[in-house]
């Protein structure tokens, strides 16, 4: 039955070559450090799903932001779990992305022919950090308010355009309702669009070029053939 369904879709969509390229490809023997990228992707999916659920009840206004977060945490069924997964998932994503980049540097996986893969990875790390910064303000409590005050003030020290960056980030001279809505818009629209674009390019390059073998494995590559695995 499943084979017939698969054949029906294959005749109309031609999905099998895509499946073969993604899941049935030759990869070198690797270690657990090579799972950091996949772990980051898994946490990213968690952030997207829990973030969508949080937007259903969150209200991006200075008068209602904190009370809506409190309502999600204390009143909504499993709201505390959803918010907890999103809150700690943000920290986990930053840590995993950082460790993944360190692994790439240590193993020299940023060299030819994977330079563009490395650049998209740097972009993804920057977007991940921006997610954490813009999301920190959204509860609109005292800690978030003053941390964002200090964080945005750091933009002012950028040469030449520093004062402009500060006003742009805050939507004015001080933190206000405009700042909250601007950070919220960046958090749920601009940054997700950039994230999905960069992830798409990054994953395409990983599949197209392949992953680099660990240094020791690369030395004995001629002795040990690649193993075909199903992801």
* Residue 69 falls inside a structural domain: yes
> Could you please report the per-residue DSSP string of 108-177?
TTTSTT-HHHHHHHHHHHHHHHHHHHHHHTTT-SHHHHHHHHHHHHGGGGSTTTHHHHHHHHHTSSS--H
Unique residue bearing structure tokens 């023997």: 29
* Residue 161 falls inside a structural domain: yes
Closest CA to 210 of 22, 42, 10: 22
What's the sign of the alpha-carbon dihedral 109, 111, 114, 115? positive
Beta bridge partners of 26: 228
d(Cα 71, Cα 55) in Å, to the nearest integer? 13
Burial class (CB in 10 A: 0-12, 13-18, 19+), 137: buried
The total domain count for the chain is 1
* Residue 224 falls inside a structural domain: no
* Residue 1 falls inside a structural domain: no
pTM of the predicted model, to two decimals?
0.86
Residue 137 near residue 145 (C-beta atoms within 8 A): yes
CA 22 remoteness from chain centre: 20
* Residue 222 falls inside a structural domain: no
Domain that holds residue 120: 32-210
CATH code for the domain in which residue 180 is found: 1.20.810.10
* Residue 228 falls inside a structural domain: no
Q: What is the pLDDT along the chain (231 residues), one digit of tens a residue?
A: 888 888 888 888 888 887 787 777 777 788 889 999 999 999 999 999 999 999 999 999 999 999 999 999 999 999 999 999 999 999 999 999 999 999 999 999 999 999 999 999 999 999 999 999 999 999 999 999 999 999 999 999 999 999 999 999 999 999 999 999 999 999 999 999 999 999 999 999 998 998 887 776 545 544 555 544 444
Helix (H, G, I), strand (E, B) or coil at 5: helix
Unique residue bearing structure tokens 């005050």: 149
* pLDDT value of position 213: 79
Q: What does the block give as tokens for 209?
A: 């070029």
Contacts of 127 (CB under 8 A, 6+ apart): 191, 194, 195, 198
* Residue 221 falls inside a structural domain: no
* Residue 24 falls inside a structural domain: no
d(Cα 148, Cα 55) in Å, to the nearest integer? 21
Closest CA to 131 of 68, 199, 226, 30: 199
* pLDDT value of position 212: 84
Q: What does the block give as tokens for 125?
A: 């790390």
């Amino acid at each position: 039955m499943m084979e017939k369904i698969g054949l029906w879709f294959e005749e109309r969509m031609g999905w099998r070559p895509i499946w073969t390229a993604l899941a049935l490809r030759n990869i070198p023997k690797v270690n657990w450090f090579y799972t950091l990228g996949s772990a980051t992707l898994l946490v990213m999916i968690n952030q997207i799903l829990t973030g969508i659920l949080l937007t259903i009840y969150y209200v991006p206004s200075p008068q209602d932001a904190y009370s809506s977060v409190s309502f999600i945490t204390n009143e909504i069924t499993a709201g505390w779990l959803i918010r907890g997964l999103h809150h700690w998932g943000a920290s986990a994503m930053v840590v995993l992305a950082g460790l993944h980049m360190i692994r790439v540097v240590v193993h020299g996986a940023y060299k030819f022919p994977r330079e563009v893969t490395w650049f998209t990875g740097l972009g993804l790390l920057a977007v991940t950090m921006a997610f954490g910064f813009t999301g920190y303000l959204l509860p609109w409590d005292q800690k978030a308010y003053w941390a964002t005050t200090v964080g945005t003030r750091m933009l002012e020290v950028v040469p030449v355009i520093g004062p402009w960056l500060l006003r742009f980030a805050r939507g004015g001279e001080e933190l206000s309702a405009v700042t909250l809505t601007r950070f919220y818009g960046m958090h749920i629209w601009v940054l997700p669009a950039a994230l999905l674009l960069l992830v798409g390019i990054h994953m395409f390059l990983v599949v197209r070029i392949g992953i680099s073998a660990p240094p020791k494995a690369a030395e004995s590559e001629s002795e040990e053939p690649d193993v075909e695995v199903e992801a």
